[in-house]
Amino acid sequence: MANTGNTLLALITGAAIGAGVGLLYAPEKGEDTRKKLSKEAKKAKNRLDKQVSETSKHLSESAKNAKHNFESKLDETLSSASYKADDILSAMEGKLEELRAKNAKFHAESKVDELKNKAKNAIS
């Protein structure tokens, strides 16, 4: 983008210098010189308009490409995060099942111990 700005500045500066030198060394009448200056100014304007148009088109394409790349990377990241979240949830569900099984075993052992204690108390 800086190169484009430098190019435009060089183009405008060159046109201004050329017009000034043309005025100083013009061997023709003032009217002819004005016509030539007008013609050259129109040419410079056309070149500048073309350069601005090309730069605008280039920037627009660059912005579209950047947007597409960003959206693509975002989709990849979200997809990856989704898979990782699924993996984490699966692991947590597995651990929860293990804890439930241990808890059930603990409660069963606790009931057995409680029944053993009641039986001992009843016998004594």
> Which residue type occupies 87?
D
- CB-based contact 35:49 (threshold 8 Å): no
Separation of CA 92 from chain center: 34
CA distance 6 to 8: 5
The domain locations on the chain are: 2-88
Tens of pLDDT, residues 97-115: 999 999 988 888 888 888 8
Tens of pLDDT, residues 32-85: 777 877 888 898 889 888 888 888 899 899 999 999 999 999 988 888 888 888
